[in-house]
Structure 1
């Protein structure tokens, strides 16, 4: 499954276009490498997502094409969530 689609279906990011934009700006890493929106994900991949004021690290647990809002959180496990220091 493509990175941007996973982020939308799992509801980590609400819109696929926003997920694509964030990924293409180099703000998402899979393991140690910067990922593009078209990067294929596998179960077990660790994503590091740099939002404006926080960083979220999640592990991909499962991939499904569609999901209900209640079941979306079962697609990933949050490993770390930290606030970025502001100036």
Structure 2
């Protein structure tokens, strides 16, 4: 699954366009390397998203195309 879509489905970022813009600006890195929105996310990847002064790190546990809002937190775990 594309990185921008994963960020939206997992609800780490609320909208796909915002996720796409964050990737383009270099604020999203996977396994320590800045990635484009088209990067293919797989289980075990470590995501880091920078929101200004704040930074969020999460490990991808699974990838699912569609999931209920209540279950979205099962796709990743915070580090």
TM interval, short-chain normalised: over 0.9
CA RMSD of aligned residues (A): 0.7
Give TM-score, length-normalised by structure 2.
0.97
Q: Where in structure 1 are there 5+ consecutive unaligned residues?
A: 80-87
Aligned residues: 79
- Structure 1 or 2, whichever has the larger Rg, is 1
1:47 match: 47
- Give the C-alpha shift of residue 34 in structure 1: 0.7
Query: Which whole-Å CA distance do the structure 1 matches of 2:3 and 2:36 have between them?
Result: 8
Moved over 3 A (4+): none
1:10 match: 10
Give TM-score, length-normalised by structure 1.
0.88
The CA deviation string for residues 32-70 of structure 1, in whole angstroms up to 9 with x for no partner, is 211111111110000010012310000000110001110
